[in-house]
Homo-oligomer: A and B are copies of this chain.
Amino acid sequence: MKPVYFELEKESKSARAGKLHTQHGTISTPMFMPVGTAATVKSVSPEELRGLGAKIILSNAYHLYLRPGHKLVEKMGGLHSFMNWNGAILTDSGGFQVMSLSDLRKVTKDGVEFSSHIDGSKHFISPEKSMEIQRSLGSDIVMAFDECVKHPATYDEVRRSLDLTTDWEKRSRAYELKPHQGLFGILQGGMYPELRKLHYEMLKDVDFEGWAIGGLSVGEPPAMMYEMLDVSVPLLPKAKVRYLMGVGTPQDLVEGVARGVDIFDCVMPSRNARNGTLFTSVGKVHIKNAKYVEDNSPLDPNCDCYTCKGYSKSYLRHLFQAGEIFGSRLLTIHNLHYYINLMRQMREAILADRFDEFRAAFYGSYATNLAEEENKS
């Protein structure tokens, strides 16, 4: 038995419910992974994450390589022990961060030379180096090292990148990980359906424990992302878990699940929370808004998270305006609850074979209110 494997439980049209088994627990899918960039999901404790229903978090090879260093984390017993999280961990390969965060990036066939966004120091990451980092971190799910092409990119740019990224992903697979670790491949191909298909052909004989769809949510309109999902997901084997990287808004999660995606990660719920934007069952709340000064009601009348059970919008607005740490924490808890609860509701709908009804109801409440709010702002 592989250390990481997927068990398909139920299909409701294209949407799926399943179980992703890891050596740090089993994750019921669809599932959202909170992002713990620097070995902490900003402001919340492992116990709070558990309480929210999180079973797996994402952390970043790039960030932990630069600070505090993957060898240090390994010495401290690995990332699970270091951050006191006994659930599953997925680490990304650093490919995306090298593209988005660092200057002076130089790509060769071997790997990428880049300068640290922290202190400008020079570094080199190859597929082998990325695997070494993720091996040291000891995550349950390791992502193959790929090249993330900037958006927009021409057909020829993306096509050329596929050769490089395929080579890098195969070199990732050839690297020996720890026995408990599984490796996921990443399907690239930009916004070109033919290149998505071509990339799957190039990679399909590599035995990954799961498949990610990469290179989306990079600035393209949602309709284009959904079109790429329509092309990409059906290429992937049914027996393997499907991961849509770095996505996205609540609608994106619903549309992703509708198309057969199983797991997601995104900084949006936690980052938006710290910036004062909350997701609720009745649309977005911008807590800074003056209309909440004397609003003694919770963020979301239909929410049973810790924040909504104990605190008013008036208090949350006060904490936000005063720059109080506890405000970030309360708002993060609410947004993560919203995301994880949305996944839970989708899973229940799939298991009951009524996902279409769920999706319609979602658009009837949240999305309508959201559109109204966005039209106003």
Chain A interfacial positions (CB closer than 8 Å to B): 38-46, 67-68, 72, 75-77, 82-84, 293-294, 296, 310-312, 314-315, 317-319, 321-322, 324-329
Contacts and interface: CB of A to CB of B under 8 A. Distances in A.
A41 B326 CA distance: 8
User: Which 6 residue pairs are nearest across A and B when measured between Cβ atoms?
Assistant: A43-B325, A68-B318, A40-B326, A84-B310, A38-B322, A40-B324
Given A315-B83, A321-B68, A324-B38, A329 B43 contact: yes
Given A293-B72, A296-B76, A329-B329, A314 B43 contact: no
A294 B75 contact: yes
A39 B325 CA distance: 12
Nearest to A306: B45
B77 A296 contact: yes
B82 A322 contact: no
A134 B310 CA distance: 23
Contacts of A46: 310
Contacts of A296: 75-77
A314 B64 CA distance: 13
A61 B145 CA distance: 55
A314 B42 contact: no
23 contacts: A38-B319, A38-B324, A39-B318, A40-B324, A40-B326, A42-B326, A43-B325, A43-B326, A43-B329, A45-B326, A67-B321, A68-B321, A72-B293, A72-B294, A75-B296, A76-B294, A76-B312, A76-B315, A77-B296, A82-B314, A82-B318, A84-B310, A84-B311
Grouping DSSP codes into helix (H, G, I), strand (E, B) and loop, the A interface class, with mixed when no group exceeds half, is loop
Q: Which of A42, A46, A76, A317 has the most B CB atoms < 10 Å from its CB? A: A76
A132 to B, nearest CB: 19
B318 A329 contact: no
B325 A68 contact: no
Contact of A325 (B76, B77, B294, B325): B325
A40 B43 CA distance: 15
A315 B82 contact: yes
Given A42-B326, A82-B315, 6 more contacts: A45-B329, A67-B318, A68-B293, A77-B296, A82-B318, A329-B329
Nearest to A310: B84
A40 to B, nearest CB: 4
